Amino acid sequence: MLTTDQIEITDLHLRAIIGIKPDERQNHQDILINITLDIDTRPAALSDDIADAVNYRTITKSVINLVENSRFFLVEKLATAVAQVCLEEQRVQKVRVSVEKPSALRFAASVGVTIERSQNEL
C-alpha cells in the first residue's frame, strides 16, 4: 500500500564534475540537491526503533559518495543516478530528486531538473 509519508533531504550542497564544456570537465562545480522519499513511517513510529525506519543518513552518505565521485555530462543523468541510489532502500516507494546547477546560466540563480522514480520503474 502506498502512503503519503515523506522524508525530505533539503538543500544538500555538493561539488561535482558535471557539464559538457571543457572547463566543466576539469573543475568541480556547486550542485544543489533536494530529495523527497515516499515511505511508510508507521512501522518506525510504532516501534521507535531505527531498524524499522528508513535511515536517511545512510542514503545521504551514498548520494554524497555518488555525486562527489561522478563525472556525468548532464544533470538529467545525475538526477537519475541519485534516484537509483535512493531506491536501493526497498522501503522507499518513490523518490523525487531535484538537481540544480547554480552556475549554469548567467543572470539566473540556478538551472535544474526534477524527476520522480518509483520501485516499479527500476
Smallest CA-to-CA distance from 33 within 5, 91, 4, 72 is with: 72
Q: What is the DSSP string of 55-86?
A: -HHHHHHHHHHHHHT---S-HHHHHHHHHHHH
* Catalytic site residue from 21, 61, 94, 101: 101
Position of cell 552556475? 103
77 is catalytic: no
Establish how many alpha carbons lie within 13 A of residue 51's alpha carbon, considering only the half-sphere containing its beta carbon.
1
What is the set of active-site residues?
101
